[in-house]
Amino acid sequence: MKASSLGLFAAVAAATDLLIPFYQYPADKGAAWNEVFWSLGNNTDLTHTLVISPNNGPGGAAPDDNYAAATETLAKFGNARMIGYVHTSLDDGATRCTRPWNEITNDVNTWFSWTSKAGVKVPIQGIFIDEAPSDSANLDCVTYMRNLTTLIRTADAQRIVVFNPGTVGTGLQPYYDLSPTFIVAFETCFMTPALARAEFDQCDPKWGAWTPYDSQGAGTSVDSVLAGLGTTAGSAKAARTAILVHGFHDTNGPQQATEAVLGPMIKQVVDKGIGAAFFNTAGYHTFSTGPASIGAVAKQLSAANKGK
Ligand SMILES: *[C@@H]1O[C@H](CO)[C@@H](O)[C@H](O)[C@H]1NC(C)=O
Ligand SMILES: *[C@@H]1O[C@H](CO)[C@@H](O)[C@H](O)[C@H]1NC(C)=O
């Protein structure tokens, strides 16, 4: 094997992917997604896994004209992987894995056959399962998630499967045992609850308070996630764990939201071997606002991956 391919293999094995809950509507034939296209173009070594969701799922058998144009552009990037959004509850996540089997599987099957009116198939490479359970005592949930994972991977064992419980909960081990690509074991906000801008950053104190991300120092939030999972930095489980951090603006208490503060936080995520991460100034609909615009985050993540 050539030295260059060895080097490439090492970099790929150690890398933290960018996981983007990409719920922004691609207005103007996808022009609204330019910031993400630029991020892909400027960081070709960084895998961007993009969760597509027109309407809490595929929304229909065919993408509308804007989605058709935008996903066609996305598909041209070798470092973009599109995965389709589905959710498991009928009550915004209050009771998980209760959505009727025929409804959720209909969404999964629709994703894999999603074709524009012009006949262009959208290359969906996997499924993001939102409102995934974190409660291991609920055996029905384990079966539900096993059934879904099996369904998704029946046609292609390489398909990406992401579970999003959003929290470590009371025990995620039975879900890790199902071998999803990633489990989002932490979904939180950077700024203090008093500074949340509900619609803008999808952080609303009325949904419950949170400890601002890394308010005890860079890397401390990931340390507590790994401790909650009963694992260590750099473990195989860390590599199958993802974190989503939104609302990177104002302050988390001790630190202001600046690119200089973001850098060490991203470096800690990479050094601890987390498989995929997302940082954003806003929430899941706006990606161009600094300091944590998607381009700035991708640049820092790419640099941290290379420096590892
Ligand atoms: C890199 O990003 C800039 C904006 O920050 C953009 O104008 C440029 O087109 C991008 N380059 C590529 C190759 O996408
Ligand atoms: C899982 O799939 C089996 C076989 O198709 C089915 O009998 C069972 O009801 C499913 N269980 C859940 C919780 O979805």
pLDDT in tens, 43-74: 999 999 999 999 999 999 999 999 999 999 99
Q: Which atom of ligand 2 is nearest to the CA of 143?
A: 13
Degrees (nearest 5) of the Cα angle 175, 181, 183? 50
Q: Give nearest CA residue, ligand 1 atom 13.
A: 41
Higher pLDDT residue, 169 or 178?
A: 178
In this structure, the residues whose C-beta lies within 6 A of any atom of ligand 2 are: 101, 140, 143-144, 147
Number of domains in the chain: 1
Nearest-ligand number for the alpha carbon of 143: 2
Q: 């764990």: which residue's tokens?
A: 241
* Full domain range(s) for residue 258: 3-306
Cα torsion for 108, 147, 244, 134, to the nearest 10°? 140
Closest by CA position to 279, among listed 297, 255, 304: 297
Closest ligand 2 atom to Cα of 140:
13
Q: How far is the CA of 149 from the centre of ligand 2 (A)?
A: 12
Task: Compute, in angstroms, the gap from residue 43 CA to the centroid of ligand 1.
Answer: 10
Q: Which ligand neighbours the alpha carbon of 294 most closely?
A: 1
**Confidence label for 20 from pLDDT (cuts 50, 70 and 90):** very high
CB 288 within 8 A of CB 294: yes
**Do 61 and 55 form a contact (C-beta atoms < 8 A)?**
no
pLDDT of residue 10: 42
Contacts (Cβ under 8 Å, ≥6 apart) of 17: 46, 47, 48, 49, 275, 276, 277
The mean per-residue pLDDT over the stretch 245-272 comes to 98
Give the number of other Cβ atoms within 10 Å of residue 248's Cβ: 28
Residue with CA closest to ligand 1 atom 10: 38
Ligand index nearest the alpha carbon of residue 296: 1
What is the residue with the minimal CA distance to atom 8 of ligand 1?
38
Over the chain, what is the mean pLDDT? 94
CATH of the domain at 114: 3.20.20.80
Candidate from 99, 101, 140 with most ligand 2 atoms within 8 A of CB, to mutate = 101
Residue that wins the pLDDT comparison between 163 and 138: 163
pTM of this structure: 0.94
pLDDT in tens, 93-111: 889 999 999 999 999 999 9
Ligand 1 pocket residues where CB is under 6 Å: 38, 41-42, 295
Q: What is the pLDDT of residues 123-155, one digit of tens each?
A: 999 999 999 999 877 779 999 999 999 999 999
Instruction: Give the CA distances from residue 217 to residues 36, 123, 212, 264, 268, in Å, rounded to whole numbers and listed in that order.
Output: 29, 40, 11, 10, 10
Residue 129, φ and ψ in degrees, nearest 5: -100, 105
So what's the pLDDT on residue 308? Answer: 85
Residue 1's pLDDT is 36
Q: Tell me: the pLDDT tens digits for 226-236?
A: 999 999 999 99
Confidence of residue 3 (pLDDT cuts 50, 70, 90): very low
How close is the Cα of 102 to the center of ligand 1, in Å? 43
* Cα gap 75→84, rounded to integer Å: 14
pLDDT one-digit tens code per residue, 178-221: 999 999 999 999 999 999 998 999 999 988 889 999 999 999 99
